[in-house]
Amino acid sequence: MAKLQTKNVKISGVCGALPRTVKTVYEVGEGFFDEPEIRKITLPIGVGNLYFAEEGQTASDLCYVAAERLIDGLGWQREEIDGLIFVSQTPDYIAPATSCLLQDRLGLSTGCFAFDMNFGCSAFVSAYFLAANLIDTGACSKVLLLIGDTLRRYVSPEDKGLTFIISDAGTATALERSTEGVLSSVIMSTDGSGSDALIVPAGGARMPMDSDTGIVSYDDDGNGRSSEDFYMDGMAVFTFAVKRVPALIDELAELHGMDKADFEYFLLHQANAYMLKFIAKRSRLPLEKFPVNIGRYGNTNGSTIPLLICDLASKELSMPKDVIMSGFGVGLSWGGVATSLGGLAYAGIVAVE
Amino acid sequence: MEEKLLISLADILEVDEDAVTLDTEFKTDAFDWDSLKGYATLVTIEDEFGVTVSVDDFIAAKTPRDLLSLIGCDA
């Protein structure tokens, strides 16, 4: 099992960046679905607003704004930052890695190790796992996790399973070496046999875009999408999440040496509100320990956990909190981090002009 | 077995336990039935009763009594 335990790492700060354009689910569905249908679809998933990147605005643009604000907010010296991980499914280019562009744009030193990772809903925990390893071994001392996506561009407006869920955002999370002795426990898992459950089939090397890949076809439920659009097998993803995540919570609590009932919060990827409730019930944990903010921001893919931390911190910044954070989705990939969020020196959400 | 299924279904449908009987047609707007509740029901049947029900059979089922029949426990 891929796992890590360390007392040498802490999260120092988190910043979220949201694009300027925000739409209600009714605005998003206008022209494709009528109001009663939109209400019926969105009530259980709990979504109210969705964010849309501007034309030409990329995930790295959003992450850049979040990182600038975070670096200033923490008072970090740019030359001290020796690790930058950009996690996205919507990079600026096929090559080079977007993290290299961000290293330069942010004015970080050439002594910074910058690399990209391709993860979605599990982006935060995956990047945390790697960054914590880099810091724990002494390879790096201050690492930025820049996680963001502009997935709206890959969502068909006629796909009711995705168009009322997916939202654009970028985030920056600061991890650094710590002598405070805060324990972090991390477990990561993969099941590529479910790779077709969440996929954009066309546009990569396996299925290059051509004149046919953009043709929209309709499934039995009337959802229209092309091979260039994001696809989700709702049942496969739901089943995966509600089975894997409660088991992960149990494993992680045991590794961390705590009773799961003693954790104060479970910060889960905001897939949809009904699924989160079902996971809480199956874990036999109280619903109020599972904060839900999908109503405000939608499902921002890898950014959901950083945005949850920002919302939580805006209320309870100075209080030490034992939390389990868990991301799960495209890959299929899932994992979790058990730690305490007591040491945050900065948290905030900024609107990108 | 019947009671266990009815309690689980009420939980999935987010209604009081006495709102669901063996002959309640639960896949209706009255219960805000949607695909998420369908997935939740299939997962619950598999976990609680150790039976994997096919999606087609599940779609054909209208009442908890029909589900019990699929589980192999006629009521």
Q: What was the ipTM of the complex prediction? A: 0.90
CA distances from A93 to A60, A99, A103, A323, A335 (A): 11, 11, 15, 35, 27
Its pTM stands at: 0.95
Q: What is the pLDDT of residue A211?
A: 94
Task: Inspect the interface and report whether the beta carbons of A234 and B39 lie closer than 8 Å.
Answer: yes
What residues of chain A lie within 8 A of the CB of B55, using their CB? 235
Q: What is the pLDDT of residue A221?
A: 87
CB A186, CB A128: distance < 8 Å: yes
Q: What is the pLDDT of residue A319?
A: 63
Q: Does B62 touch chain A (CB under 8 A)?
A: no
Place of tokens 């209706």: B28
Q: What is the pLDDT of residue A304?
A: 98
Q: Does A241 touch chain B (CB under 8 A)?
A: no
- Over residues B48-71, the mean pLDDT reads 92
Residues 6+ apart with CB under 8 A from A206: none
Q: What are phi and psi of B42, to 5 degrees?
A: -60, -45
Residues lower than pLDDT 70 in chain A: 316-320
Task: Name the residue among A243, A274, A281 with its Cβ closest to that of B36.
Answer: A274
Q: If contacts are CB pairs under 8 Å, which of residues 261-300 in chain A contact chain B? A: 272, 274-275, 278, 281
Task: Inspect the interface and report whether the beta carbons of A43 and B36 lie closer than 8 Å.
Answer: no
Q: What is the pLDDT of residue A316?
A: 64
For residue A348, what are the β-bridge partners? A15
The string of pLDDT tens digits covering residues A186-204 is 999 999 999 999 999 999 9
The CATH number of the domain covering residues in A1-353: 3.40.47.10
Distance CA B36, CA B12 (A): 9
Radius of gyration of chain B (CA): 11
- Report the number of distinct structural domains present in chain B: 1
Task: Name the residue among A238, A243, A281 with its Cβ closest to that of B36.
Answer: A238
- Chain A: give the shortest CA distance to residue B12, in Å: 8
Q: What is the pLDDT of residue A320?
A: 62
The string of pLDDT tens digits covering residues A286-329 is 999 999 999 999 999 999 999 999 998 877 655 668 999 999 99
Q: Where in the sequence is the domain holding B53, given as residue range(s)?
A: 2-71
CA distances from A313 to A168, A300, A303, A321 (A): 21, 19, 15, 10
CA angle A89, A1, A336 (to 5 degrees): 50
For residue B30, the domain's CATH number is 1.10.1200.10
Residue positions counted in chain A: 353
Q: Where are the domains of chain A?
A: 1-353
Q: What is the pLDDT of residue B2?
A: 87
- Closest chain B CA to residue A279: B40
Task: Inspect the interface and report whether the beta carbons of B40 and A44 lie closer than 8 Å.
Answer: no
- Closest chain B CA to residue A239: B43
Q: What SS3 state is found at A16? A: strand
pLDDT band at B73 (very low <50, low <70, confident <90, very high): confident
Q: What is the pLDDT of residue A172?
A: 98
Q: What is the pLDDT of residue A353?
A: 83
